[in-house]
């Protein structure tokens, strides 16, 4: 007797797993939440119970002081929810701790990706392609114009600028969870072994990554450094600090930003970015297409960004698809 997926219901504030009365990444406080990863548009404090990977729970504790009701699930581990629903957390390749959630009920399989990418990231295990009936995919960069260049080229640009202007520093704006640590880890992979200087707002998350085994090399705080020590160095800060008074303590900074949105020239200009680095923690258009082809679901449900073009692509390729309208999506904290 097919259940026809009536047990999984998209609502504006989250995806409802009906027999378990659980919500995935709910935009409001609920008794039972399944959380894909720690970004603010997915993870919120105040749930009665929060099921997530141990790293995501640690990130949530750091950011929202949530500890009570935390239920850890390792990658590959399956937990039984009420109402006969099994939930398995699988790597999403987005940030430390990020997971896709595979839900199984009455012989039907649904995957909620949360955010994901297919590129190499030294800070988290790669996205795992897993067969399912319904694939609920994000579409942050769901337009054919969005194709992100290889990260190696972007890091080379950054290192070249340091070499060309050794009396200046390069100030890189990057979001505090994920992007900042990935950029530092990629700098290390490219052989950059000088200290990296941090704005205070990035310190605790970088330390958390180190606690989880991600080697970020020597990190120092800008507040503990003399101006001359930062010449020829990389300084990391949250994007909000790029143009504020704080940056006056730096030696003639080259303003840079690491974001998928740096493909859009106007966004770089708005922030006064001199050295845009196109580095995204989301799937670009070719990755979205490839992922739908590889997962090969009966149906794709598209959410979290630019749904229309991907919907159209599915139609053109005889794939069933629908767009979901979820609220509370914040593309600016999460890129
Ligand atoms: Zn995210
Ligand atoms: Zn997101």
Specify the CATH number for the domain of residue 230. 3.40.50.12650
pLDDT per residue over 151-177, tens digit each?
999 999 999 999 999 999 999 999 999
* Ligand number nearest to the C-alpha of 41: 2
Cα 73 to ligand 2 centre (Å): 20
Cα 236 to ligand 1 centre (Å): 19
The enclosing domain of 79 has a CATH number of 3.60.15.10
Cα 280 to ligand 1 centre (Å): 10
Residue 152, strand partner residues = none
Examine the domain organization and report whether 156 and 273 are in the same domain: yes
More confident residue, 153 or 331: 153
pLDDT per residue over 50-95, tens digit each?
999 999 999 999 998 777 899 999 999 999 999 999 999 999 999 9
Examine the domain organization and report whether 304 and 179 are in the same domain: no
Mean pLDDT throughout 178-199? Answer: 98
Does residue 288 register a pLDDT over 50? yes
Examine the domain organization and report whether 138 and 178 are in the same domain: no
Helix, strand, coil proportions of the chain in percent (round to 5)?
30, 25, 45
Cα 39 to ligand 2 centre (Å): 7
1: pLDDT confidence band, cut at 50, 70 and 90?
Answer: very low
Cα 169 to ligand 2 centre (Å): 31
327: pLDDT confidence band, cut at 50, 70 and 90?
Answer: confident
Residue 228 lies in a domain: yes
How far apart CA 335 and CA 318 sit, in angstroms, is 30
Determine the pLDDT at residue 83. Answer: 97
Examine the domain organization and report whether 222 and 261 are in the same domain: yes
**In this structure, what is the dihedral angle of CA atoms 66, 67, 72, 75, given to the nearest 10 degrees?**
40
Cα 224 to ligand 2 centre (Å): 33
How far apart CA 266 and CA 268 sit, in angstroms, is 5
Residue 102 lies in a domain: yes
Examine the domain organization and report whether 317 and 223 are in the same domain: no
How far apart CA 251 and CA 253 sit, in angstroms, is 6
- Going from the C-alpha of 97 to that of each of 92, 203, 212, 319, the distances in angstroms are 9, 18, 10, 31
Examine the domain organization and report whether 128 and 15 are in the same domain: yes
């Amino acid at each position: 007797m097919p259940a026809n997926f009536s047990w999984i219901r998209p609502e504006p504030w989250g995806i409802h797993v009906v027999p378990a009365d659980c919500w995935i990444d709910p935009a409001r406080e609920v008794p039972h939440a399944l959380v894909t990863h720690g970004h603010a548009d997915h993870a919120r404090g105040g749930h009665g119970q929060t099921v997530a990977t141990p790293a995501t729970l640690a990130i949530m504790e750091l950011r929202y002081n949530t500890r009570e009701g935390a239920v850890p699930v390792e990658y590959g581990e399956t937990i039984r929810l009420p109402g006969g629903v099994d939930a398995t957390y699988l790597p999403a390749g987005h940030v430390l701790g990020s997971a896709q959630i595979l839900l199984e009920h009455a012989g039907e399989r649904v995957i909620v990706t949360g955010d994901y990418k297919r590129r190499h990231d030294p800070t988290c295990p790669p996205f795992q392609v897993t067969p399912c009936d319904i694939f609920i995919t994000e579409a942050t960069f769901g337009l054919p114009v969005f194709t992100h260049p290889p990260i190696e080229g972007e890091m080379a640009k950054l290192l070249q600028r340091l070499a060309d202007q050794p009396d200046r520093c390069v100030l890189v704006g990057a979001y505090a969870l994920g992007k900042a640590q990935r950029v530092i880890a990629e700098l290390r992979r490219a052989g950059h072994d000088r200290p990296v200087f941090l704005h205070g707002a990035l310190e605790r998350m970088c330390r958390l990554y180190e606690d989880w085994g991600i080697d970020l090399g020597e990190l120092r705080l800008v507040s503990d450094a003399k101006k001359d020590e930062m010449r020829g160095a990389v300084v990391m800060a949250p994007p909000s600090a790029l143009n504020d008074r704080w940056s006056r303590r730096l030696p003639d900074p080259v303003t840079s930003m690491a974001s998928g949105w740096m493909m859009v020239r106007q966004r770089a200009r708005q922030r006064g970015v001199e050295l845009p680095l196109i580095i995204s923690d989301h799937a670009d258009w070719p990755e979205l297409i490839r992922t739908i082809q590889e997962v090969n679901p009966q149906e794709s449900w598209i959410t979290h960004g630019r749904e229309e073009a991907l919907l159209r692509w599915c139609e053109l390729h005889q794939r069933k698809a629908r767009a979901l309208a979820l609220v509370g999506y914040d593309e600016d904290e999460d890129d």
